[in-house]
Amino acid sequence: MKHNGRFGDFGGFYVPEVLIPALEEIEDAFYRFKSDPQFVAELDGLSARYAGRPTPLYFAQRFSEHVGFKVYVKREDLLHGGAHKVNNTLGQGLLAKHMGKTKLIAETGAGQHGLATAMIGALFGMETKIFMGTVDTERQSVNVHKMKLCGAEVIPVVGGTGTLKDAINDALRYWTAHVTDTFYLFGSVCGPHPYPTVVKHFQSPIGTEARAQCLEEVGRLPDMVVACVGGGSNAIGIFSGFVEDKDVKLIGVEAGGEGVRTGKHCATLEIGKVGVFHGSKSYLLQSEEGQIYETHSVSAGLDYPAVGPEHCLLKDTGRVEYVTADDEDVLDAFEIFTKSEGILPALESAHALAYLISQKGKLPAETIAVINLSGRGDKDVGIVEEYRPVQ
C-alpha cells in the first residue's frame, strides 16, 4: 500500500494476506482516477443525470416551529434509490469499470447500499451479488425484491446474528475466494484502507453542496450540522464540508436502541472500546476479552458494532460531539417529521431528527441547524406500523 490509511492511530488494513493485493489494486486505481478529468466528468455527469445531484437544501418550516429553531434539511432522500448510498456506489462502480472488473459484491444492512449497488450493477452491466443477513432480508424485504429486479443475486447470510456484521463477514470470505475478478463495493467509511478514504471522497459532495447552499440561501454558515452514524458514511459526507469551520458544531447521532444501559443498542462511540475488527482499528462493541457483541437498533442501517476510523479520531479530538437517540424517540421523530413536513424520513436519518427534537426549547430561535436526511423512509413503513400501528 502507498498510504497507511490511518486516522490518528485508527484505521489501517488488518486483513488476511490474501486480500492485500486486491486492496492495493483499489488504492492504486482510486488515486489514479479520482482527479482524472475524464473520470471526474463521467462521474459528475452520472451524479447529475442518473442520481439527481445536487440535492436541495430545504427549510423545514413547520418542523422548525415544532423545535423552536431553524432546521434546514439536506435532501439526500431525493436521490435515485432513496438514499445517499448511490453517491458511493456510482463512484466505486465507475472505479471498478475503469479497473476492468466485471463482477461486484457488496454487503448491506437496511438494503439501501445493496440496492444502490444493484442499480449500478445493472447500469454498468456487471454481475452483482449482495450479502445480507437473514434478519435484515426479513425486515427489509421490499429492498430485497428491488435488488432482485435490478438483476442482482441476494445471498442470505445465516451465520451469527443475521445482520450487517455477518453480511460483511461472508462478503469478505467470498471476496477471498474470488479476489482476482471481483470488486468489493464497500458501503461505509469503515473496513480496511482504502475504503474509509474512498467512501468519504465519494460522499463528500453532500458537505460541499450543503455548505455552499447554506451560504447562498441562508446567508451564513449553520450553527450546527447533525447526521446519524452507523458506519458513518452520510455523516462523514456532510461533516467533511464543515470540519474546517470551527464555529460550526458537528453532531453525530448513534443508535441508542432500547437504551444504552440495556445492552441492546449500537452506541459504539458512546461506550465502545478500541479494538480491531473488519480490517480497521476503531471503537467496537465487544466483550472484555474482545469477542464482538450483537447489536440492536430499530434501523437496520445502524445495526453495526464498529464505526468508521475517522469518526473515532473526530471523537477523540472533540471536533464532533457524538450522542445517541433511543428507538422510541426515533419513532416519535419519524411521526413528527412526517406529519409536519409530509416527508417520510428513513429510520436511520430519524435519529438525527430525534436529536433536534431533544434540543427543543434549549436553543435560541435564530439557531440554524442543518440535518442530513440521508434516506427516505418508504422502506421502513412496515417496521413503523409494527411498533406504532396507525389508528
Partner 1 sequence: MTTYKETFEKLNRTALIPFFVIGDPDFDTSLAVVKAAVDAGADVLELGIPFSDPIADGPTIQKADIRALAAGMTVQKALDFIKQVTDHKPIPIGLLVYYNLVYQYGTEKFLKDFKAAGGSSVLVADLSIDDADEIAIPAKDTGLETVFMVTPVTSDGRAKRIAEKTTGFIYTVSLLGVTGARESLSDMVRPLVTRLKKLTDVPVCVGFGVSTPRHAKEIASAGADGVIIGSKIVKMIEDNLDDKQKMQSEIAAFITQVKAVL
Residues carrying an active site annotation: 85, 107, 374
Strand partners, 70: 368
What DSSP assignment string belongs to 134-192?
Answer: HHHHHHTHHHHHHHHHTTPEEEEE-STTSSHHHHHHHHHHHHHHSTTTEEE---SS-SS
Does residue number 221 form part of the binding site for partner 1 (CB under 8 A)? no
Identify which of residues 135 and 172 has a Cβ nearer to partner 1 in the complex: 172
Identify which of residues 176 and 317 has a Cβ nearer to partner 1 in the complex: 176
Contact between 82 and 52 (Cβ < 8 Å):
no
Closest contact distance (angstroms) between CB of 316 and partner 1 is: 17
Count the site residues for partner 1 by CB under 8 A.
Answer: 37
Q: Which stretch binds partner 1 (CB under 8 A): 250-258, 260-268, 285-293, 332-340?
A: 285-293
Cβ contacts of 270-274, under 8 Å, gap ≥ 24 = 270/322, 270/323, 270/324, 272/305, 272/306, 272/307, 274/10, 274/312
Does residue number 288 form part of the binding site for partner 1 (CB under 8 A)? yes
Does residue number 289 form part of the binding site for partner 1 (CB under 8 A)? yes
CA angle 207, 232, 296 (to 5 degrees): 145
Residue 54, preceding bond cis, omega within 30 degrees? yes
* Cβ-Cβ contacts under 8 Å for 235 (sequence gap 6 or more): 227, 228, 229, 252, 311, 372
d(CA 98, CA 101): 8
Does residue number 1 form part of the binding site for partner 1 (CB under 8 A)? yes
Residue of 8, 21, 45, 56 interacting with partner 1 (CB under 8 A): 21
Residue of 20, 122, 123, 142 interacting with partner 1 (CB under 8 A): 20
Q: Which stretch binds partner 1 (CB under 8 A): 15-23, 36-44, 78-86, 208-216?
A: 15-23
Q: Which stretch binds partner 1 (CB under 8 A): 52-60, 283-291, 338-346, 358-366?
A: 283-291
Q: Which stretch binds partner 1 (CB under 8 A): 26-34, 62-70, 140-148, 268-276?
A: 268-276
Q: From residue 172 to residue 201, what is the string marking binding to partner 1 with x (rule CB under 8 A)?
A: xx--xxxxx---------------------
Contact between 189 and 310 (Cβ < 8 Å):
yes
Identify which of residues 20 and 155 has a Cβ nearer to partner 1 in the complex: 20
Residue of 169, 197, 203, 234 interacting with partner 1 (CB under 8 A): 169
DSSP 3-state of 272: coil
d(CA 37, CA 34): 8
DSSP 3-state of 65: helix
Binding site for partner 1 (CB under 8 A): 1, 4, 12-18, 20-22, 159-160, 165-166, 169, 172-173, 176-180, 273, 275-279, 284, 286, 288-292
